[in-house]
Amino acid sequence: MTMSSKAAGRVLLPPTINPTRYSLHFTPDLASFTFSGVATIELATTKDASWNEIMMHAKELCFANASFVVKGRTEREEAVEIRVNMKETTVTFIFEMEIPKEATLVLTIEYQGFLNNQMAGFYRSSYTNIHGETKIMASTQFESLDARRAFPCWDEPARKAIFSISLTVPKHLDAFSNMPELSNKTLPGGSTKTLVFLDTPIMSTYLVAFCVGEFDYVQNQTEHGVLVRVYTPPGKSEAGLFALDCATKSLDAYNDFFGIRYPLPKLDMVAIPEFAMGAMENWGLVTYREVDLLIDPKKASSSQKQRVCTVVTHELAHQWFGNLVTMTWWDDLWLNEGFASWAENWAADVIFPQWSMWDQFTTGHLSSAMRLDALRSSHPIQVPIHRAEEVEEVFDAISYCKGGSVVKMIRAVLGMKAFQSGLGAYMKKHAYGNTETYDLWKAWEESSGLPVQEMMASWTEQMGFPIVTVIDEQWEDDKVTLQLEQFWFLSDGSELTDEEKEKNWCIPIITCTSEGTQHDMTFMREKTATVTIPLKSKDGWVKLNAGQDVPMRVKLTSEMIHRLGSGIKSKTLPASDRAALLTDTYALVKAGHMEPEALITLLSKFSDEDSYIVWCGIADILVGLDAVLEDDAYMSANFKKFAKGIVIGLNGKIGWESKDTDGHLTVLLRAMMIGLLSSFCYEDKDVSAEASKRFGAFLADRNDVISLPSDMRTAVFKIVLKNGGVTEYEQVKAYFNQTTDNAERKFVLGSLGYSEDPKLKQKTLDWTISGEIKLQDFFYPMGSVRSSSSEGRNMSWSFLKANFEKIKTMIGKASPSLMDAVIVSCSGGFCSDEKADEIEDFFKANPLPSSARKIQQTLENMRANAKFLKTLQSSALSRPEFWVSLA
């Protein structure tokens, strides 16, 4: 293929022809699942334009004809040949005449396409309306490479252009696009109408959007007069109010924060019945999975509200970061997703300060980032993407969570003022343009005077993160001097080669002490460093990586841990630091840097803990250890008893009953506690009785959210299913069809696999591919079987092997992220080398190129767990005395 390569190795369309304006007209037919399209595209050719062809992206489109005129002239040049390259997803129009150089051409293309059901391109969704009728609607999902599935285009983020969209649709349907309606005319015959939308600003193809269907809406205005609407299925408009409120508030907050106004006159947010991801930031027309937008005010759980709020704040952050300023190429995807992952928390924290979003960041985004980035199969934040298709694989915890974490780190280093003014300058300078990571560093260097580029390169250009070990300590009455050393941290603690030992990061050293956070930060650039930290009392404590602003692990000395005991007890050590002490220790134990008994001893120091944040850390450890020990009956039994003690202790403090005075975090903590009860204490008489009682009330009235609040539905279903039989199974499953609320359905999908009876587990697995569950959700029950027990783990893996072809066919050309979800749901969680080998062999025989990275990461995790199990088996935990001493 004659593609030029601008940056090394990138496969791009030739740069000699540039689109400046697309007029796109679509006529969808919701009955035959097809659409016809007319694309009229203004092109500027450069002086290097040569040859007699125009090559563009296109996929699954049937072309009728193509022709161009040179602007200002009348002769029309028809394409004499239309060459489609399915593999490269391109179309080439060949003309008799040579393409004029340095000219403006208007290219017109007539074509047909399909409204597919694969949640990509211009696609259809089916849904049941409030009258029980099946309906079809159509909408778009273009990121990353599917605009070409709806119209021929230069489908690369740097090929920005103006878009003028128009649609001809049945008279009774609503239709909208990125921009407000310019005109709306009924066509002769009266049954159809043509809607023309205003021109968009100059923007990338992957952000174009339109949809057609029946909707209700709620609306509001921002302080700056932007009209915000949430479109819902008919009869459900009330469910849009919560997201509407989050959207108007965050739009105003971002306006002030970035110092640039949201440039469009309106912002629509639409719930789409079938949606592959959580949401998509199309400029002015953000699309969402229903559960990520709609909130039933009478039923919704606290975690659903938090999810909807952060999905909204994430997508609205993209209206600036991504839409107004866009990465030049996909290897800087993190500029979009990493920044939005930071900003979603920033804005949610502005709207709901009582949610402690930044503390939650530590046990959420930061933990996910380090979990993935501690693998050898990780990748750098700035990741080379040669063929655009490769980008699908890097919508992962590195781009999102590590990206968000390094933004949080820069914010800590620069201080809010320089951080924000740098961002504002970056936005102004690059508005409507494209950037690379370096442009952002430059803006922050100018606003702060600090060598941002030098500092950040080690975090974004190389993969992995460091473990900082305190190798020497000197405690004096008024200060402590610590010797630090850094190495690359690997989850399985595997040997580093000499070259790998040289890997270094530029680490800001941020500490807190018994007297508060220390502000004069130093930087550790070399292998080792010495820091002196003032202390006011001679038995004072110090914690490194205060506020968990740096994505790294820290190994403290036993003296330091001992001193921290008082900070943990008195809770003067902040919650996210207390949580990190635990999660760092767990990771270090797993990697063989600390003895396992140190973790158990540390856990027992947290008996008074009632912070949700810290419990997120504790829960991760309990669930993680439980899964690894599953294959060792003796240790597993002892560990379960130990975990049960901890969880029952929490239950004693917090109880089942909600109180009017409960804050958001208390509600989340109670839900988590009941989740832990379902893992460790479901056989406990009191626990199973309480769960049965609440389940009984639910059976009597499915809407009884006093007896069975949504926050605890999944966990209570699990307890009831584990203790029950076919009757309970059928009762839970029946709810899937009894409710029309997708959030409620998800409680069924996430719990059904927990029935103890293997026949019922198998029934659940078979159900996933019966066609009764939407493709967007069908992997959830697989995951619930897999995580229910070691038997479930084996069953879900066998199920995937046995039904591999069918599942592949079901997913078809839908997003590869669905296949990733299936792989993790069915084969994640094993802790043996033999199983890892078996899974590896299976995928060698049945290759899935676009999930290759995911498979490799899953295998590496498994092998790390296998190694961890061996460590545990040769540790004190394998000896009876150890557990006796704990009792």
Binding residues for Zn(2+): 314, 318, 337
Shortest distance in whole angstroms from residue 337 CB to Zn ion: 5
Spatial contact of 24 and 166, defined as CB atoms under 8 Å apart: yes
Tell me the longest C-alpha to C-alpha distance in the chain.
93
Q: CA 464 to CA 369: how far, in whole Å?
A: 10
Phi-psi region of 829 (alpha: psi -120 to 50; beta: other; left: phi over 0): left
Position 624 contacts ligand BES (CB under 6 A): no
Q: Which is nearer to Zn ion, 400 or 682 (CB)?
A: 400
Active-site residue identified among 77, 274, 315, 393: 315
Q: Closer CB to Zn ion, residue 337 or residue 777?
A: 337
Determine the interface stretch with ligand BES among 124-132, 271-279, 471-479, 508-516 (rule: CB under 6 A): 271-279
Looking at the Cβ atoms of 206 and 736, the one nearer to Zn ion is 206
Closest-CA residue to 674 (of 653, 696, 656, 699): 656
Q: Which does 435 bind (CB under 5 to 8 A by kind): Zn ion, ligand BES, none?
A: none
CB of residue 259 vs Zn ion: minimum separation in angstroms? Answer: 22
* Residue pair 839/866 in contact by the 8 Å Cβ criterion: no
Q: Please name which of 417, 443, 528 lies closest in space to residue 483, comparing C-alpha atoms.
A: 528
- Binding residues among 150-179 for ligand BES as defined by CB under 6 A: none
Binding-site entries: 314, 318, 337
Smallest gap, in angstroms, from Cβ of residue 276 to ligand BES? 8
CB of 489 to Zn ion, least distance (A): 27
Near ligand BES by CB under 6 A, which window of 33-41, 310-318, 514-522, 869-877? Answer: 310-318
Return d(Cα 767, Cα 733) in angstroms, integer. Answer: 10
Q: Which of ligand BES, Zn ion, none does residue 578 bind to, with CB < 5 to 8 Å depending on kind?
A: none
Assess whether 630 carries a catalytic annotation.
no
Question: Which option in Zn ion, ligand BES, none does residue 143 bind, with CB closer than 5 to 8 A by kind?
Answer: ligand BES
> HEC profile for 439-476?
HHHHHHHHHHCCCHHHHHHHHHCCCCCEEEEEEEEEEC
The amino acid that residue 191 corresponds to is: S
Q: In angstroms, what is the minimal distance from the CB of 314 to Zn ion?
A: 5
Per partner kind, with CB cut-offs from 5 to 8 A, the member of ligand BES, Zn ion, none near residue 272 is none
Q: Which segment (174-182, 331-339, 458-466, 628-636) binds Zn ion by CB under 5 A?
A: 331-339
Residues 6+ apart with CB under 8 A from 336: 318, 321, 322, 326, 327
The number of helix segments (H) and strand segments (E) in the chain equals 27, 30
Rounded to whole angstroms, what are the CA distances from 645 to 218, 642, 658, 681? 48, 5, 22, 9
Contact 62, 111 (CB under 8 A): yes
- Provide φ and ψ at 235, rounded to 5°: 85, 0
| 332 interface partner picked from ligand BES, Zn ion, none, CB below 5 to 8 A per type | none
Q: How far is the CB of 779 from ligand BES (least distance, A)?
A: 14
Q: Is 281 in the site for ligand BES (CB under 6 A)?
A: yes
Residue 826 near which of Zn ion, ligand BES, none (CB within 5-8 Å, type-dependent): none
CB of 57 to ligand BES, least distance (A): 16
Q: Which residue, 277 or 594, is less far from ligand BES as judged by CB? A: 277
Q: Which stretch binds ligand BES (CB under 6 A): 272-280, 419-427, 688-696, 712-720?
A: 272-280
278 touches, from Zn ion, ligand BES, none (C-beta below 5 to 8 Å by class): ligand BES
Q: Which residues pair with 223 in a beta bridge?
A: none
Cα separation, 468 vs 521, whole angstroms: 16
Smallest gap from Cβ 317 to ligand BES, in A, equals 9
CA atoms within 13 A on the CB side of 66: 28
Length of the chain: 887
Interface with ligand BES by CB under 6 A: which range of 158-166, 273-281, 525-533, 741-749?
A: 273-281
Among positions 39, 230, 280, 427, the unique one binding ligand BES when judged by CB under 6 A: 280
Among 170, 278, 534, 624, binds ligand BES (CB under 6 A): 278
DSSP-assigned letters across all residues of 525-547: -SSEEEEEEE-SSTT--EEESGG
Interface with ligand BES (CB under 6 A), residue from 24, 121, 138, 143? 143
Tokens found for residue 597: 């008994």
What is the C-alpha to C-alpha distance for residues 235 and 129, in angstroms, rounded to an integer?
A: 9
| Residue 204, SS3 per DSSP | coil
Question: Taking contact as CB under 5 A, which single stretch among the options 336-344, 358-366, 614-622, 685-693 is the one that binds Zn ion?
Answer: 336-344
Q: Buried b / exposed e across 420-441, counting CB within 10 Å, b at 16+?
A: bbbbbbbbeebeeebbbbebbb
Site membership for ligand BES, residue 394 (CB under 6 A): no
Selected from 114, 262, 283, 395, the binder of ligand BES by CB under 6 A is 395
Least Å distance between CB 340 and Zn ion?
4
Q: What is the closest distance, in whole angstroms, from the C-beta atom of residue 93 to ligand BES in the complex?
A: 28
- Centre a 10 Å sphere on the Cβ of residue 594 and count the other Cβ atoms it contains: 20
Q: Closer CB to ligand BES, residue 345 or residue 865?
A: 345
Q: Which is nearer to Zn ion, 333 or 531 (CB)?
A: 333
Of residues 277 and 732, the one with the C-beta less far from Zn ion: 277
- Amino acid at residue number 767: W
Collapse the DSSP code of 515 into the 3-class scheme (helix H, G, I; strand E, B; otherwise coil) and give the result.
Answer: coil
Alpha carbon 146 to its chain centroid, in Å, reads: 20
Q: Based on CB atoms, which residue is closest to Zn ion, 340 or 467?
A: 340
Smallest distance, Å, CB 146 to ligand BES? 9
Verify cis geometry, omega within 30 degrees of 0, for the bond prior to 144. yes
Burial of 473 (0-12, 13-18, 19+ CB in 10 A): middle
Place of tokens 């009209």: 227
Residues 339-368 that bind ligand BES (CB under 6 A): 340
Closest-approach residue to Zn ion (CB): 340
For Zn ion, how many residues bind (rule: CB under 5 A)?
2
Euclidean distance between the first and final Cα of the chain, in Å? 70
318 binds ligand BES (CB under 6 A): yes
- Segment contacting ligand BES (CB under 6 A): 190-198, 309-317, 674-682, 757-765? 309-317
Name the pairing type of β-strands 34-45 and 17-29: antiparallel
Residue 220 corresponds to which tokens in the numbers above?
A: 């509001």
| DSSP code at position 755 | -
**Binds 311: which of Zn ion, ligand BES, none (CB < 5-8 Å by kind):** ligand BES
Q: Which of residues 340, 412, 413, 533 is near Zn ion by CB under 5 A?
A: 340
- Scan residues 567-606 and list those touching ligand BES (CB under 6 A): none
Q: How many chain residues are in contact with ligand BES, going by CB under 6 A?
A: 15
CA distance 340 to 653: 37
Amino acid identity of residue 482, one-letter, is L
Let me know: does 99 contact 51? Beta carbons within 8 Å: yes
277 versus 554: smaller Cβ distance to ligand BES: 277
Q: Which helix (H) or strand (E) element contains residue 243? A: helix 241-258
DSSP secondary structure letter of residue 201: P
Tokens, residue 31: 């009955």
Give, as ranges, the residues between 434 and 493 that touch ligand BES (CB under 6 A): none
Secondary structure E strands in 612-740: none
Question: Between residues 429 and 813, which has the closer beta carbon with respect to ligand BES?
Answer: 813
Region near ligand BES per CB under 6 A, out of 157-165, 306-314, 702-710, 803-811: 306-314
CB-based contacts of 445, cutoff 8 Å, min separation 6: 451, 452, 453
Residue 144 touching ligand BES (CB under 6 A): yes
Residues with catalytic roles: 315
Binding residues vs ligand BES (CB under 6 A): 143-144, 277-281, 310-311, 314-315, 318, 337, 340, 395
Binding residues vs Zn ion (CB under 5 A): 337, 340
